[in-house]
Amino acid sequence: MASLALWQWAAVFAVASGVLIRAGVALAAAADEIASRTRIGGLFVGSIFTASATSMPEVVIVVTAAAAGAPELAVGAVFGSSMANMAVLGVADLAGRQRLMATIGLAHARVASVAIALTALAVLGAASPEGLTVGWVGGDTLLIAVAYFAAVGWVRRSELLDRHRPSQPQRSAEPKFEERRGDIRRAVRRFLTASAAILIAGPIVAISGAGIADTSGLSDLLVGVLLVALASSLPELVTSLGAVRIGAFDIAVGNLFGSNAFNMLVLFVADVAFVEGPILTGSPPAQVVAGVGAIGLMAIALAVIVHGRETRVARLEPDAIVLLLAYVGVLAAVSAS
């Protein structure tokens, strides 16, 4: 594939992107139906199941890069994807008929806090000298993996407890979803089919994007943080926008924060695949900047969720715009590092 011409890379990118868009919309609809027909809840479905499905391209790309001995590309793609997901959140907030981040329940702050904490652990590992290792795997990524699964249980228990507190004041009512025909088994089949399409098309989008950028002379780190991360975040974009379109706000936001938390678990898998030593050890400054930038972007989004006040002016969302401007600023900082 290295011999493909630029127009051929562009054609592959366009076709795979079209498949991703169709699959993302179908995934959002199936996830919403599963959440509405079961007692699992939209927050948990979005932050765990949908987030895991839309993050599968990152898993394939990052693990492949790590196994091939390109740790900068792998780690850069993870941090860059977390940054891009927050930009997607800003776009989704602007695309809705009402403010997305100010409308959802405060329970999403839990998932956002988990994503921030896990990313902070990764940044500490990237900024610190080599510490405890288990074989060739770093103790930092192992700690992240353990913390991720513990956090999943905590989020699930917290959501169940919230349902038994009817007297607790709520900032906003849960979105009312229109009943859809079909049974839960059909929704699960649609979810799995869309997930499979994303798993196949996502890496093709990222690989073709890297092929397009290869002639520009960018470093592996910049390709990972900029192009590959943006391309691999396309499933999150189309899925979240599809969820916003049908009013499944919990799916849309939970998908993005959940993907950022899941991205940190991907670092552990990449560390296992990178047999030359801990993958975060000796990270260049640009990777640390990208990780800190991801934390900053998530903190901005978390502040908007907690604040939760409507300030719409002619369909222009200052909070979403601040988030998007901050994303551009972080990209500039990474490029300059």
d(CA 113, CA 302): 8
Domains of the chain with bracketed CATH: 6-336 (1.20.1420.30)
pTM of the model: 0.77
The residue that leads in pLDDT, 216 or 18, is: 18
Residue 315 has pLDDT above 50, yes or no: no
Beta strand spans in 42-184 (E): 133-134, 137-138
pLDDT of 228 > 90? The answer is: no
pLDDT digits (tens, 9 = 90+) for 68-114: 787 887 888 889 889 988 998 888 888 766 667 767 777 788 889 99
Q: 31-53 in b/e burial notation, b at 16+ Cβ within 10 A?
A: bbbbbbbeebbbbbbbbbbbbbb
Please report, for residues 18, 52, 138, 294, the alpha-carbon distance to residue 116 in angstroms, rounded to integers and kept in the order given: 31, 17, 20, 8
Check if the beta carbon of residue 334 is closer than 8 Å to that of residue 286: yes
**Burial group, residue 91, by CB count within 10 angstroms (0-12, 13-18, 19+):** middle
pLDDT > 70: percent of the chain = 78
